[in-house]
Amino acid sequence: MNQTAISVKGLKKSFNNKEVLKGVDFEVGCGEIFALLGSNGAGKTTTVNILSTLLKPDGGEAYICGFDVQRQSDHVRQSISLTGQFAALDGMLTGRENLKLIAKLRGVPKPSQVADSLLAKFSLTDAASRRADQYSGGMKRRLDLAMSLIGPPAVLFLDEPTTGLDPEARIEVWNTIEELASSGTTILLTTQYLEEAEQLADRIAILHGGKIITTGTLTELKEMYPPAKVEYIEKQPTLEEIFLEIISKKEAM
Ligand SMILES: Nc1ncnc2c1ncn2[C@@H]1O[C@H](COP(=O)(O)OP(=O)(O)OP(=O)(O)O)[C@@H](O)[C@H]1O
Ligand SMILES: [Mg+2]
């Protein structure tokens, strides 16, 4: 592995005497896309919140770009960006105003230009002057993601980045994530969609029973299981493929 961007050792966290994280260990290399999978309540958001300094662990250590999340939280905050499981927008502001606000807070030059190019990238130009609380769920999600790209951060945490998005918007977000990673951003994402991890992740970790029970590339994970059987089946298109086909025909008309 090249340089380590995220290092987690023996991370522990309990809520009301219930131990949610029982010693979580993993490492993510710079520029990697790392997917954290786990059932509802497995502790994915808890892990992301600890790594992004929003929550204190009860035990263990975590480093982001070499900075200790507990003792050097200011440095950690300067290195990261987070798109939480639930959108963090100011509903009173328009889409463009939300983006400009973050760009100004982060001290980015030319906040208006940054806002406009992100609005275009996330297909929000037409809605740019509307208040964010009038956006649909998918539009809020896209604006939230756009906000987290301002900077740009060295490490990006994406907690269920495509939950609630339609298939087209999901593919758009996947492309953005891949683009970011190829420009050197390290990405830790949590997801319920296994095909999302399959599509995007360089490495996958499964969080279960408070620990990482498996880590590896998709190929490595596949090798752990019995060899594939060869069967001849007629492959029907998935509903997603049908949906995207119909939409693209409609757009071409
Ligand atoms: N602030 C809190 N107070 C009490 N319990 C909490 C708190 N935050 C999380 N928990 C509990 O910790 C466990 C892990 O929650 P967490 O949100 O990390 O799971 P998750 O893997 O992100 O689940 P999901 O897939 O539903 O988002 C759950 O049982 C949850 O109820
Ligand atoms: Mg969660």
Q: pLDDT digits over 178-219, tens only?
A: 988 888 899 999 998 888 999 999 999 999 999 999 999 988
Spell out the domains of the chain, with CATH numbers in brackets.
4-89+153-252 (3.40.50.300)
Given a cut of 70, the residues of the chain with pLDDT beneath it are 1-2, 87, 226-228
Tell me the ligand closest to 36's alpha carbon: 1
Q: Whole-model pTM?
A: 0.85
**pLDDT of amino acid 51:** 96
* Separation CA 223–CA 40 (nearest Å): 26
Long-range contacts of 145-149 (CB under 8 A, 24+ apart): 145/83, 145/173, 145/176, 146/99, 146/118, 146/119, 146/121, 146/122, 147/83, 147/88, 147/89, 147/98, 147/99, 147/102, 148/81, 148/82, 148/83, 149/81, 149/118, 149/176, 149/180
Q: For position 246, what pLDDT does the model report?
A: 84
Rounded distance between C-alpha atoms, residue 168 and residue 49, angstroms: 28
Top mutation candidate among 17, 46, 50 for ligand 1, by most atoms within 8 Å of CB: 46
Atom of ligand 1 nearest to the CA of 85: 27
Closest residue by CA, ligand 1 atom 8: 46
Output the CA 29–ligand 2 centroid distance in Å.
23
Give residue 44 CA to ligand 1 midpoint distance, Å.
Answer: 8
Give the per-residue pLDDT at 30: 94
Residue nearest to ligand 1 atom 1, measured at CA: 15
pLDDT of residue 230: 75
pLDDT value at residue 228: 67
Question: Of the candidates 191, 9, 183, 10, which has an alpha carbon nearest to the alpha carbon of residue 83?
Answer: 191
Per-residue pLDDT, 6: 98
Ligand 1, atom nearest to 160 Cα:
27
**Distance, CA 251 to ligand 1 centroid (Å)?**
41
